[in-house]
Structure 1
Amino acid sequence: MFAGHFGLAAGVRAKYPEVPLWALMLGTQLLDVVFVPLFVSGVETMDDHIGNGYGEAIIHADYTHSLLGALLISGLAWIVAKRFWRGRGGRVLAAVVFSHWLLDLIVHRADMPILPGNWGGLPTLGLGAWSHPWLAISLELVLLAAGLGMYVHAAMKASSGRKKRYAYLSGAVLGCLLVFALLNDVLGLF
């Protein structure tokens, strides 16, 4: 769902232009950004016994991708973001950060705990769309198309004359990046 997160960020940018696109893109991936050092240090792990293709790994992100962990990271993002983009911008960024968990809930197998470290041994969550790759890819395509469409529409509406060319260009560049992100998801380029 890497690409789908970015598509959502592009759509949010169309509605809330006071928050820069780079901040929304980073925000939508913040759970994964925090995951990386925890993965490298062995605190969080991945089990690829099913395979290492699109969505085949079981991710043990028991802190960053727990419901409470995602809420805490979103809260920290809100505290930082409201300093730069005031109250509404901070809330928007916090919501985008938490949207990562919501989208992952749809695609992950039941590997997302409610509490960090799966304290209490509560059931883990995940609807498992990754078990049906075409469903997961279709969901990502919808998010990409809707987000890019909203972004381009807002950019065109906000520009006039000579600036329309820049709006077209920014939409084309963003579109290329989103398609590359989807190809990376599906084909495992990196």
Structure 2
Amino acid sequence: MIIGHYGLAAAVKAREPSIPLWVLMLATVWMDVVFIPFLAVGVEWIERVPGAPHYGGLTIHADYTHSLVGAALLAVALACPSARKWGARSGLLVGALALSHWFLDVIVHRDDLPLLPGSPGGLPKFGFGLWTMPEAALALEILIFAMGMYAYWRAATNAALAGNVSRCVATRSAFKAIIFGAIVVILDVTGLVS
């Protein structure tokens, strides 16, 4: 679930124009951003599932960054500076968006998402495994992304028109986001990111 996260960021941007889009996009993938150094030093790792298709054919052993408690702590770590910069409401939204990553991942991941870091005492791990049906998982991601981008484009156009700016000028920033999204979709479909 990569492009689905970005679609959610675009939908939030449509409702909260004061928060920069890059902050919202960062928030949606914050868990993965923090995962990278953990992966680099071997604290967390990725394992390919034998015989699984490339898209979603992974089990992620990310007990710290991708546990529910770890995700909540990472969300707070991102929400605090956001609240200082853009206000308490914005901080809460950025934190909620960061935490949403875990809940969206539960839909597509195999059962590799723990509640607590390290899954002490054999606590269950969660994941509905939509990745085992790549076409359905990709369709869901594209749907979330398209809905978010449409909401963002519509909000940008309406705001600009209310300010007597031409529709062409109004859609410029939304168009940039759509181009970025199209690149991410292409990378996701070709398996270069997943």
Tell me the TM-score normalised to structure 1 length.
Answer: 0.95
Question: Aligned equivalents of 1:170 and 1:89: distance in 2?
Answer: 20
Aligned to 1:144: 145
Deviation at 1:186, TM superposition (A): 2.0
1:123 paired to 2:124: yes
CA contact (8 A) 1:28 1:100 kept: yes
Alignment length (residue pairs) = 190
Amino acid at match of 1:41: V
Q: Provide the identity percentage.
A: 43
- SS for the counterpart of 1:176 is helix
Aligned to 1:167: 170
1:184 paired to 2:187: yes
1:60 paired to 2:61: yes
- SS for the counterpart of 1:142 is helix
Aligned to 2:46: 46
1:3 paired to 2:3: yes
Q: Deviations over 1:65-119 (max 9, x none)?
A: 0011001111111211110111100000001101111100100000001101222
> Is the deviation greater in 156-165 or in 39-48?
156-165
Q: Deviations over 1:115-155 (max 9, x none)?
A: 01222220100010101111111111111111001000100
Question: Aligned equivalents of 1:19 and 1:189: distance in 2?
Answer: 29
Question: Aligned equivalents of 1:140 and 1:58: distance in 2?
Answer: 19
| Structure 1: runs of 5 or more not aligned | none
Taking a change above 3 Å as real, the CA distance of residues 88 and 163 of structure 1, as seen in their structure-2 partners, is farther
| Structure 2: runs of 5 or more not aligned | none
- SS for the counterpart of 1:59 is strand
CA contact (8 A) 1:70 1:98 kept: yes
Deviation at 1:64, TM superposition (A): 0.4
Taking a change above 3 Å as real, the CA distance of residues 49 and 133 of structure 1, as seen in their structure-2 partners, is closer
- SS for the counterpart of 2:113 is coil
Q: How does 1:84-123 map to 2 (within 5 A)?
A: 84-123=85-124
CA contact (8 A) 1:2 1:185 kept: yes
Amino acid at match of 1:173: K
Deviation at 1:52, TM superposition (A): 6.6
Structural RMSD (CA): 1.4
CA contact (8 A) 1:140 1:182 kept: no
Q: Greater helix share, 1 or 2? A: 1
Deviation at 1:174, TM superposition (A): 1.2
Question: Aligned equivalents of 2:60 and 2:13: distance in 1?
Answer: 29
- SS for the counterpart of 1:110 is coil
